[in-house]
Structure 1
């Protein structure tokens, strides 16, 4: 039986690198995969999953209106898929997460979704919340805080490195905008 996996972590934990390695493993064995990435993430080339260590692969961009199940069904009919991989899964809608579950349950294709669990205020993203609720397997990818503890929080900072506590949930950025911290250092940074 195919399963829905949710690999979650804070920023800079290697989620995209892990996804690209999993994709490589399938393809190396001659198995077809389909990759998705959030269209809103425009840090790199559109339609590309890019890791901080320089790995990349083409992917189908998705937004809130994308019917992932229809995309996968179409591709699967043309070239049977062994796996579907989704980067930036926090940006999925609840309906899209249900579509991913249907891909597993009805089409028999495993789905590996990678994303953030929480935003810069420590609140769940819609996609992450739904994945945490219905995924068959939850896997935390570890990242490290400046103190050496496990980083679980994403601190948003301004251009000068000052913590930001208010704002819209989604603001695309990398090391220039976010720091992965343990809960203690996250809380202390916001209190200062």
Structure 2
């Protein structure tokens, strides 16, 4: 299907399938949003009312602590999803910011439209259930790595498993995502790049 929504449909079809009519109805609920580099998709204090699929570009989700220090929580590139599930579910203001690291294009669907569609089409519930399960597993594994891996091991794991992120995201953001100070990150960065198989 050659539409602006071909990629998101292919992503969803990894776990479920639509009838042609369901596919048409779903696409009618979608819209394209372009986000310039450094532009915010979501700001702390606002209520998140959309789920976003990244068509192109790269976005960063972070939290600003009371001391004004940024803590990176999540990155999203092509064929990934991003949002704030807490804010979307509770309708409470978000504690997060989502900002574009590159000129980006996302496909968005509102929470209300998604819930209404899910009532009619169980296939989309299956997709998001599996997606959220995978997200929870990944977060669980990340928490464990923070406990038992040292900083260098965490960075090696990051570069090995997400090379496309390692080469697109500024090092200062990778450092906070891995729970490292910029100074320590700079110390291990060159050392890690000298290891066999890592660039």
- Common fold by TM > 0.5: no
Greater C-alpha radius of gyration: 2
TM class by shorter chain equals: under 0.3
Normalized per residue, which structure has more helix? 2
**What TM-score comes out, normalization by structure 2 length?**
0.27
**What TM-score comes out, normalization by structure 1 length?**
0.28
